[in-house]
Amino acid sequence: MRTYHDLTDPDRSGLAQQIGAQRQRVAERLAGVGRIVAVMSGKGGVGKSYVTAHLARALARAGKPTGVLDADLNGPTIPRLLEVSRAPLTAHSAHVEPMVGLDGVRCISMALLLEDGAPLAFRGPSAESFVWRGAMEATALREFLGDVEWGTLDTLLLDLPPGMQRYVELCDILGTPPAVLTVTIPTPESRDAVRRAMRAAVDRGSALLGVVENMVGGELRGSAADELASEFGTPVIGRVPFHPSANAWDQIADQVSRAPRTAHRAS
């Protein structure tokens, strides 16, 4: 009996072609984005979202059109940080428009779509939902990347949830790994978690833009940022105290906007 690869007729479902078309849609949509930067850390609660939102605002204030894609689908916090209004998203036949927050930062987030306080829940068979839930979340991320029309952007920041899963999905969807900015707090525990994330990013081929050390100057002891920076040969591009002044972000924004532009995959 012949096996799968022996059958060469195009199957009408063309699932592989459908996946290819999805990737193509993402590539075309993001063609006008100068720089795609994933903000991550292997650790929760270190201030990824806080840094992402403030960095985005500083970039926008410097005259560089900036967007934030809240890739934390289950714990979205960006709209609150950017004070985005709860107005409906405008949907057209082939795209939706992002919302606009403080300093003109454009934004898409699951928080804009969900009922107040409701978790992200999907319709579907509840038994064995673990089988399809991950695929559903990756598809939601792919739709945010492929269907939101940002217009011309200097930088698109992606606020990732803790852990590495979303980063891996992002690499698959984009085809080329995004540049990565890591956020840590000074402690050794944070250093160890962020190290794992940075190693995964390097293994996947991401360029490291540098390390931001958050929550410095308080009770937290350690020198995570310096240690990570020297281990990975990447700069510490900012040290952020608790409740920093607005100009603390300008220096970080300046460094990020000097980073090489994203080489978009030839389509």
The closest of 56, 86, 80 to 68, measured between CA atoms, is 56
Task: Mark residues 136-175: x for contact with ligand ATP by CB under 6 A, - for none.
Answer: -------------------------xx-------------
Quick check: 71 and 37 in contact, CB under 8 A? no
User: What distance in Å separates the CA atoms of residue 208 and residue 136, rounded to the nearest whole number?
Assistant: 29
User: What distance in Å separates the CA atoms of residue 189 and residue 175, rounded to the nearest whole number?
Assistant: 32
Residue type, 252: I
Q: Tokens 């689908």, residue?
A: 73
The closest of 200, 198, 222, 221 to 210, measured between CA atoms, is 198
Task: Mark residues 74-103: x for contact with ligand ATP by CB under 6 A, - for none.
Answer: -x-x--------------------------
215 touches which of other proteins, Mg ion, ligand ATP, none (CB within 5 to 8 A by kind)? ligand ATP
Task: Mark residues 41-70: x for contact with Mg ion by CB under 5 A, - for none.
Answer: -------xx---------------------
Neighbours of 109 (CB within 10 A): 26
CB of 123 to other proteins, least distance (A): 5
Q: Is 122 in the site for other proteins (CB under 8 A)?
A: yes
Residue type, 99: M
91 touches which of Mg ion, ligand ATP, other proteins, none (CB within 5 to 8 A by kind)? other proteins
Which tokens hold the place of 196? 């794992």
Q: Using CB under 8 A as the criterion, which residues of the chain lie in contact with other proteins when the complex forms?
A: 1-2, 4, 7, 9, 11-15, 18-19, 22, 25, 88-96, 112-116, 118-125, 127-128, 131-133, 135-136, 139-140, 142-144, 147-148
